[in-house]
Every structure is written in C-alpha cells, then in structure tokens.
C-alpha cells in the first residue's frame, strides 16, 4: 500500500505555471529555470499543463515541448507529471502518448468536461487513457471546473487498474477521500492547498499545489514537520500559510493569475496569462506580495 513515505510521484508537487514571453509565446527557457528553482527549493515533483499551467490555451506541440524542456532542466531530481486531460477521449489518449515520448513520468487526467458523461462513460474514458501508454496515471477530480464528479464508487473500480495509481483531490469531499484511502492503494494528493496537512494526516501522499509556485520550501516544511512527529509545528506552518492561500486561491481570480502576478514580483519566470485570463490588478498584486513577505519573514 502507498504511504506518505512511498508515494508514486513524490510528496511535494507543484502545479507549475507555464511561463510565456511578453509576446505570449511559450517561454521554454523560462520554464526550465522556474522548474529548476522549484526543485532546488523543495519540490520533488512537477505537474505540467494542469489547470494552473493553462492547459486549455496551450497547443499539443507546446505541451510536449514543455515536458521535454523541464525534463532537461531537472533531470532525475524530480518526477514530471503531464496534464493531458481534455473533453475528448481520443485526443487525451494521443496527448498521453506524446507526453510519454517527451519524457513524462506520469499522467494527470481530468474528468472529461462539458459533455457531462455518465459514470460508466467516465470510467471507460479513464480506462482507455490508462491503456494508451505504459505510464502511471493520476485521476484529477475537480467537479467545480469540469461539471462531472468522479464518483467514489467509480474511483474504487478504477483503482483496480494497475496503472491508475493516484488521485488529485479537488472534490472538497473529505469523507469520500478517507473512505477511498481506507479501501484502496491509491495515493491521494491534496489539490486544494488548505487541505494539505489535513489530507496528509489521514494517509494522503502529499500535495499538488498552486501556491507552491511561490513558497515551495514553506509547504514542503509542513510535510517534513509532520513526518518528524512535530505535529503541532506542522499545524502552525499550515496555519501561517492560510492568508496567502486564501488570497491566491479564493479571492475571485484563478490561481494561475495570482501565481503569475506574484512570481513576476519575485523576478521568477511567469510572463502573461493567455486570454481569456487577464492579469491581476496592481492592488491585488501588491496585497499578494505583502502576504508573501509576511509569510517568508515570520
């Protein structure tokens, strides 16, 4: 059974932004530099082309190029999980194969969106993707964005597939997560930063975090403290990050927007967002930077 000490993709994963040049073109050099920074400062895994990575507005070729560039930058120091989920099963399978060729270690596959398929179709979709490559796969359950839940019973059935090994949980159904943890070997990763410690404490494997783009070391320290048996310290570290987590993830702007705004103030590669996303207002950026300074200097 997977435990917090033996997760399939690492414990501290960043849902990395996709850096763009001022022109809007993909910034592969910036992606490599940001990936190196994140791994150097505590991440043992990177998720590319997820929600935070603006996957809906990058091309198939850009997604593959991004995996290859980050692989070159980090080598074997961190796992690379490629987001390949789309609303189209055949397209998702094709992206999965390209990610494997480009050097990914695993796949992150969101429930097919817009069509709102029933659960038997959702299950068939994931099985087809899992059968399309030799890579391990993480289910990405985020019904607020997709409109389709991966229901707990569906997850239990999918857990029987040898290459479906993990879940990125953005369901906000903490009871379901615990039930599935108790009945399967699936590695559960907190996809909501406020659940990082809570899910880890009941047997989760770690996190896939947007906030880790800007404070990778602090979030890693939450897990390290818990693993060292310093549970009160772990709770304190989680609580100290709450204000920044709230500002980045619950202020009405997507985490991509807030992460890129804050990364830019830190002189780290980020660049603009692609439409329809728009940059954060200056006052929001100033607030984010203030909260960041309070956290890192506390």
Return the CATH number at 62: 3.20.20.70
pLDDT at 6: 74
Q: With CA atoms as reference, report the closest residue to 105 among 67, 140, 57, 147.
A: 67
Contact 134, 166 (CB under 8 A): no
Place of tokens 């304190």: 236
Q: What is the domain range of residue 77?
A: 12-228
pLDDT at 262: 98
DSSP code at position 282: H
Contact 144, 163 (CB under 8 A): no
pLDDT at 31: 98
Q: What angle do helix axes 282-297 and 242-249 make, rounded to 10 degrees?
A: 160
Contact 132, 103 (CB under 8 A): no
Place of tokens 């398929």: 117
Q: In whole angstroms, give the CA distance from residue 294 to residue 38.
A: 20
Q: In whole angstroms, give the CA distance from residue 235 to residue 190.
A: 16
pLDDT at 298: 81
Alpha-helix residue ranges (DSSP H) falling in 44-108: 60-74, 89-102
- What positions carry a catalytic annotation? 140, 168
* In a domain? residue 183: yes
Q: In whole angstroms, give the CA distance from residue 60 to residue 289.
A: 33
* In a domain? residue 63: yes
Burial of 1 (0-12, 13-18, 19+ CB in 10 A): exposed
* In a domain? residue 241: no
Centroid of chain to Cα 16: 7
Q: In whole angstroms, give the CA distance from residue 137 to residue 109.
A: 7
pLDDT block averages, 10 residues each, the chain of length 298: 67 98 97 98 98 97 98 98 97 98 98 96 98 98 95 98 98 96 97 97 98 98 98 98 97 96 98 97 98 95
DSSP-derived 3-state class of residue 164? strand
* In a domain? residue 149: yes
Q: What is the per-residue DSSP string for 97-150?
A: HHHHHHT-SEEEEEPPPSS---HHHHHHHHHHHHTTSSS-EEEEE-HHHHS---
* In a domain? residue 267: no
pLDDT at 106: 98
Contact 268, 289 (CB under 8 A): no
CA angle centred on 79, ends 75 and 80, rounded to 5°: 90
* In a domain? residue 270: no
Please state the domain count of the chain. Answer: 1
DSSP code at position 229: T
* In a domain? residue 239: no
* In a domain? residue 197: yes
């Amino acid at each position: 059974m997977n435990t917090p000490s033996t997760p399939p993709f690492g414990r501290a994963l960043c849902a990395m932004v996709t850096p763009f040049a001022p022109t809007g073109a993909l910034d592969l050099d910036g992606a490599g530099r940001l990936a190196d920074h994140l791994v150097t400062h505590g991440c043992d895994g990177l998720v590319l082309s997820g929600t935070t990575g603006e996957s809906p507005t990058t091309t198939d070729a850009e997604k593959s190029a991004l995996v290859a560039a980050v692989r070159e930058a980090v080598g074997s120091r961190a796992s690379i999980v490629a987001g390949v989920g789309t609303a189209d099963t055949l397209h998702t399978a094709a992206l999965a194969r390209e990610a494997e060729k480009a050097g990914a270690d695993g796949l992150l596959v969101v429930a097919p969106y817009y069509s709102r398929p029933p659960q038997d179709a959702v299950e068939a979709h994931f099985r087809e993707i899992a059968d399309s490559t030799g890579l391990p796969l993480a289910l990405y359950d985020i019904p607020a964005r997709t409109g389709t839940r991966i229901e707990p019973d569906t997850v239990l059935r999918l857990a029987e597939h040898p290459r479906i090994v993990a879940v990125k949980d953005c369901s906000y159904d903490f009871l379901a997560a615990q039930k599935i943890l108790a009945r399967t070997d699936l590695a559960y990763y907190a996809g909501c930063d406020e659940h990082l410690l809570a899910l880890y404490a009941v047997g989760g494997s770690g996190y896939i975090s947007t906030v880790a783009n800007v404070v990778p070391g602090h979030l890693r320290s939450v897990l390290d403290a818990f693993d060292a048996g310093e549970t009160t310290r772990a709770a304190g570290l989680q609580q100290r990050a709450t204000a920044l987590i709230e500002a980045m993830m619950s202020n009405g702007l997507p985490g991509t927007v807030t992460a890129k705004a804050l990364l830019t103030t830190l002189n780290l590669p980020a660049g603009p967002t692609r439409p329809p996303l728009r940059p954060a207002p200056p006052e929001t950026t100033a607030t984010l930077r203030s909260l960041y300074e309070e956290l890192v200097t506390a």
